[in-house]
């Protein structure tokens, strides 16, 4: 699945101990989800381009073809 990075706030990064996408990802750029990690109140995306990082899913929009 492809997603577009739409930005992140401090709260979104800090919630659930996510990695900070700011400075790594570019707003508006499309990335590929390698794996999803679903938790009770949030989901983390592990991207193909950054397999050692876990980002809060609210920082992305799904890209539909």
Find where tokens 């995306």 sit: 45
Residue 53 tokens, joined: 């990082």
Residue 65 tokens, joined: 């073809």
Question: How many residues does this entry show for the chain?
Answer: 65
Cβ pair 7, 56 in contact under 8 A: no
DSSP helix/strand/coil, 48: coil
pLDDT in tens, 16-59: 889 999 999 999 999 999 999 999 889 999 999 999 999 999 99
Q: Is the pLDDT of residue 65 over 80?
A: no
């Amino acid at each position: 699945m492809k997603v577009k990075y739409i930005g992140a706030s401090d709260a979104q990064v800090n919630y659930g101990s996510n990695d900070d996408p700011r400075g790594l990802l570019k707003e508006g750029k499309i990335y590929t989800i390698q794996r999803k990690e679903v938790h009770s109140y949030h989901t983390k995306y592990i991207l193909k381009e950054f397999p050692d990082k876990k980002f809060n899913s609210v920082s992305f929009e799904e890209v539909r073809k």
